[in-house]
Protein backbone atom coordinates (compact mmCIF):
# COMPACT_ATOMS: atom_id res chain seq x y z
CA UNK A 1 0.00 0.00 0.00
CA UNK A 2 1.51 3.41 -0.99
CA UNK A 3 2.31 5.92 1.75
CA UNK A 4 -0.17 8.74 2.20
CA UNK A 5 1.67 12.02 2.67
CA UNK A 6 0.07 14.77 4.73
CA UNK A 7 -1.22 17.82 2.93
CA UNK A 8 0.91 20.98 3.12
CA UNK A 9 -2.19 22.98 4.00
CA UNK A 10 -3.89 21.36 6.99
CA UNK A 11 -7.57 22.05 7.53
CA UNK A 12 -9.59 21.98 10.71
CA UNK A 13 -12.64 19.83 11.29
CA UNK A 14 -14.48 19.65 14.61
CA UNK A 15 -11.56 21.45 16.28
CA UNK A 16 -9.10 18.80 15.03
CA UNK A 17 -6.25 19.47 12.60
CA UNK A 18 -6.75 17.35 9.50
CA UNK A 19 -3.69 16.90 7.29
CA UNK A 20 -5.36 14.65 4.75
CA UNK A 21 -8.90 13.50 4.08
CA UNK A 22 -7.64 9.92 3.46
CA UNK A 23 -7.38 7.83 6.61
CA UNK A 24 -6.41 4.29 7.36
CA UNK A 25 -9.17 2.31 9.02
CA UNK A 26 -8.17 0.77 12.33
CA UNK A 27 -9.34 -2.68 13.43
CA UNK A 28 -9.07 -3.80 17.04
CA UNK A 29 -9.22 -7.40 18.22
CA UNK A 30 -11.21 -7.46 21.44
CA UNK A 31 -11.08 -10.12 24.14
CA UNK A 32 -14.43 -10.32 25.92
CA UNK A 33 -16.38 -12.16 28.61
CA UNK A 34 -19.79 -12.99 27.17
CA UNK A 35 -21.41 -13.42 30.61
CA UNK A 36 -20.29 -9.97 31.73
CA UNK A 37 -21.39 -8.35 28.47
CA UNK A 38 -24.89 -9.85 28.63
CA UNK A 39 -25.34 -8.96 32.31
CA UNK A 40 -24.21 -5.35 31.85
CA UNK A 41 -26.27 -4.87 28.69
CA UNK A 42 -29.38 -6.29 30.36
CA UNK A 43 -28.84 -4.08 33.41
CA UNK A 44 -28.45 -1.03 31.17
CA UNK A 45 -31.75 -1.71 29.41
CA UNK A 46 -33.72 -2.43 32.59
CA UNK A 47 -32.27 0.61 34.36
CA UNK A 48 -33.45 2.78 31.47
CA UNK A 49 -37.02 1.74 32.26
CA UNK A 50 -36.59 2.08 36.04
CA UNK A 51 -37.10 -1.63 36.64
CA UNK A 52 -35.46 -2.95 39.79
CA UNK A 53 -34.26 -6.53 39.60
CA UNK A 54 -31.97 -9.09 41.19
CA UNK A 55 -29.72 -11.27 39.05
CA UNK A 56 -30.14 -14.97 39.92
CA UNK A 57 -27.54 -16.18 37.45
CA UNK A 58 -26.65 -16.01 33.79
CA UNK A 59 -29.89 -15.42 31.84
CA UNK A 60 -32.15 -15.43 34.90
CA UNK A 61 -33.43 -12.43 36.87
CA UNK A 62 -36.04 -11.70 39.52
CA UNK A 63 -38.07 -8.50 39.12
CA UNK A 64 -38.31 -6.68 42.46
CA UNK A 65 -41.45 -4.78 41.41
CA UNK A 66 -44.92 -6.14 40.68
CA UNK A 67 -45.49 -5.88 36.94
CA UNK A 68 -49.01 -6.20 35.58
CA UNK A 69 -49.66 -7.91 32.24
CA UNK A 70 -49.40 -4.68 30.24
CA UNK A 71 -46.12 -3.68 31.91
CA UNK A 72 -44.68 -7.15 31.31
CA UNK A 73 -45.68 -7.04 27.65
CA UNK A 74 -44.08 -3.60 27.31
CA UNK A 75 -40.89 -4.95 28.88
CA UNK A 76 -40.79 -7.84 26.39
CA UNK A 77 -41.24 -5.44 23.47
CA UNK A 78 -38.43 -3.22 24.75
CA UNK A 79 -35.99 -6.12 25.22
CA UNK A 80 -36.64 -7.93 21.93
CA UNK A 81 -34.87 -5.39 19.64
CA UNK A 82 -31.83 -5.65 21.95
CA UNK A 83 -31.55 -9.40 21.41
CA UNK A 84 -33.24 -10.46 24.65
CA UNK A 85 -36.32 -12.65 24.85
CA UNK A 86 -38.51 -13.39 27.86
CA UNK A 87 -39.07 -17.16 27.85
CA UNK A 88 -42.32 -18.38 29.41
CA UNK A 89 -43.02 -21.94 28.27
CA UNK A 90 -41.51 -24.29 30.88
CA UNK A 91 -39.71 -26.52 28.38
CA UNK A 92 -38.43 -23.46 26.54
CA UNK A 93 -37.21 -22.06 29.85
CA UNK A 94 -35.31 -25.28 30.50
CA UNK A 95 -33.81 -25.23 27.00
CA UNK A 96 -32.63 -21.67 27.56
CA UNK A 97 -31.06 -22.74 30.85
CA UNK A 98 -29.31 -25.60 29.02
CA UNK A 99 -27.93 -23.16 26.43
CA UNK A 100 -26.79 -20.73 29.12
CA UNK A 101 -25.09 -23.53 31.05
CA UNK A 102 -23.30 -24.76 27.91
CA UNK A 103 -22.04 -21.26 27.10
CA UNK A 104 -20.89 -20.88 30.70
CA UNK A 105 -19.04 -24.21 30.53
CA UNK A 106 -17.38 -23.60 27.16
CA UNK A 107 -16.13 -20.15 28.17
CA UNK A 108 -14.76 -21.29 31.54
CA UNK A 109 -10.97 -21.16 31.82
CA UNK A 110 -10.88 -24.74 33.13
CA UNK A 111 -13.68 -26.18 31.00
CA UNK A 112 -11.56 -29.22 30.15
CA UNK A 113 -11.95 -30.38 33.75
CA UNK A 114 -15.66 -31.00 33.28
CA UNK A 115 -17.64 -33.53 31.30
CA UNK A 116 -20.52 -31.67 29.66
CA UNK A 117 -23.19 -34.27 30.48
CA UNK A 118 -22.21 -34.34 34.17
CA UNK A 119 -21.93 -30.54 34.34
CA UNK A 120 -25.41 -30.01 32.86
CA UNK A 121 -27.07 -32.69 35.00
CA UNK A 122 -25.59 -31.32 38.22
CA UNK A 123 -26.23 -27.67 37.38
CA UNK A 124 -29.84 -28.13 36.25
CA UNK A 125 -30.85 -30.95 38.62
CA UNK A 126 -32.13 -33.23 35.85
CA UNK A 127 -30.71 -36.36 34.28
CA UNK A 128 -28.75 -35.74 31.10
CA UNK A 129 -31.14 -38.04 29.22
CA UNK A 130 -34.12 -35.88 30.18
CA UNK A 131 -32.29 -32.67 29.28
CA UNK A 132 -31.27 -34.12 25.94
CA UNK A 133 -34.83 -35.20 25.10
CA UNK A 134 -36.34 -31.81 26.00
CA UNK A 135 -33.66 -29.94 24.05
CA UNK A 136 -34.26 -32.05 20.93
CA UNK A 137 -38.03 -31.72 21.25
CA UNK A 138 -37.94 -27.91 21.44
CA UNK A 139 -35.03 -27.06 19.10
CA UNK A 140 -35.12 -30.00 16.63
CA UNK A 141 -31.39 -30.29 17.22
CA UNK A 142 -29.18 -31.91 19.84
CA UNK A 143 -27.28 -30.69 22.86
CA UNK A 144 -24.14 -32.13 21.29
CA UNK A 145 -24.56 -29.97 18.18
CA UNK A 146 -25.07 -26.85 20.26
CA UNK A 147 -21.96 -27.66 22.29
CA UNK A 148 -19.93 -28.04 19.08
CA UNK A 149 -21.15 -24.66 17.78
CA UNK A 150 -20.18 -22.93 21.02
CA UNK A 151 -16.79 -24.66 21.17
CA UNK A 152 -15.99 -23.54 17.64
CA UNK A 153 -17.01 -19.96 18.49
CA UNK A 154 -14.72 -20.14 21.50
CA UNK A 155 -11.90 -21.54 19.35
CA UNK A 156 -12.31 -18.68 16.87
CA UNK A 157 -12.12 -16.14 19.69
CA UNK A 158 -8.96 -17.76 21.09
CA UNK A 159 -7.34 -17.76 17.64
CA UNK A 160 -8.21 -14.09 17.15
CA UNK A 161 -6.69 -12.96 20.45
CA UNK A 162 -3.61 -15.01 19.52
CA UNK A 163 -2.64 -16.12 23.01
CA UNK A 164 -2.73 -19.90 22.54
CA UNK A 165 -1.55 -22.50 20.05
CA UNK A 166 -4.00 -24.89 18.38
CA UNK A 167 -2.70 -27.65 20.65
CA UNK A 168 -3.49 -25.55 23.72
CA UNK A 169 -6.91 -24.60 22.35
CA UNK A 170 -7.75 -28.24 21.63
CA UNK A 171 -6.75 -29.17 25.19
CA UNK A 172 -8.75 -26.31 26.74
CA UNK A 173 -11.88 -27.26 24.80
CA UNK A 174 -11.52 -30.93 25.71
CA UNK A 175 -10.71 -32.25 22.24
CA UNK A 176 -8.74 -35.47 22.02
CA UNK A 177 -6.37 -33.93 19.48
CA UNK A 178 -5.81 -30.99 17.16
CA UNK A 179 -7.06 -33.21 14.33
CA UNK A 180 -10.38 -33.66 16.15
CA UNK A 181 -10.67 -29.89 16.64
CA UNK A 182 -9.78 -29.30 12.98
CA UNK A 183 -12.45 -31.71 11.75
CA UNK A 184 -15.25 -30.07 13.76
CA UNK A 185 -13.95 -26.57 12.95
CA UNK A 186 -14.00 -27.28 9.20
CA UNK A 187 -17.41 -28.98 9.35
CA UNK A 188 -18.82 -25.91 11.09
CA UNK A 189 -17.04 -23.04 9.30
CA UNK A 190 -15.93 -24.54 5.99
CA UNK A 191 -12.23 -23.93 6.69
CA UNK A 192 -9.63 -25.44 9.00
CA UNK A 193 -8.43 -23.61 12.13
CA UNK A 194 -5.00 -23.32 10.50
CA UNK A 195 -6.55 -21.54 7.52
CA UNK A 196 -8.49 -19.30 9.90
CA UNK A 197 -5.21 -18.50 11.69
CA UNK A 198 -3.61 -17.51 8.37
CA UNK A 199 -6.55 -15.23 7.53
CA UNK A 200 -6.27 -13.46 10.89
CA UNK A 201 -2.48 -13.18 10.52
CA UNK A 202 -2.85 -11.70 7.01
CA UNK A 203 -5.35 -9.12 8.30
CA UNK A 204 -2.94 -8.07 11.02
CA UNK A 205 -0.11 -7.71 8.50
CA UNK A 206 -2.30 -5.57 6.26
CA UNK A 207 -3.19 -3.34 9.20
CA UNK A 208 0.50 -2.76 9.83
93 and 81 part of one domain: no
Q: What is the CATH number of the domain that holds 158?
A: 1.10.10.60
192 and 97 part of one domain: yes
Ranges in the chain, pLDDT < 70:
1-35, 49, 56-60, 62, 64-69, 87-88, 208
Beta strands (DSSP E) in 27-122 are 53-57, 60-63
- Given 86, 106, 124, the domain boundary residue is 86
73 and 95 part of one domain: no
Residue 93 lies in a domain: yes
57 and 111 part of one domain: no
60 and 79 part of one domain: yes
Count of structural domains within the chain? 2
Torsion of CA 73, 76, 81, 85, to 10 degrees: -150
201 and 110 part of one domain: yes
82 and 149 part of one domain: no
Measured between alpha carbons, how far is residue 97 from residues 60, 202, 203 in Å?
8, 39, 37
pLDDT for 206: 81
Collect all residues with Cβ–Cβ distance below 8 Å to 72 and sequence separation of at least 6. Answer: 86
Share of the chain above pLDDT 90, in %: 43
3-state secondary structure of 90: helix
112 and 190 part of one domain: yes
Helix locations, the chain, DSSP H: 34-48, 69-79, 90-106, 116-124, 128-139, 143-161, 166-172, 178-189, 193-207
165 and 150 part of one domain: yes
* Domain coverage including residue 60: 34-86
pLDDT for 64: 64
Question: For 155-204, what is each residue's pLDDT tens digit?
Answer: 999 999 887 899 999 999 999 999 999 999 999 999 999 999 999 888 88
Amino acid sequence: MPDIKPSLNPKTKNNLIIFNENFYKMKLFIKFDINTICSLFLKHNLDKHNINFTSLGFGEIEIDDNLDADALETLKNKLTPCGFEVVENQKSVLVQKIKDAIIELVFMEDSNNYKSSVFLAEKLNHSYGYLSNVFSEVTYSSIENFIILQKIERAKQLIIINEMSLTEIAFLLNYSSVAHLSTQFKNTTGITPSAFQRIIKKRRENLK
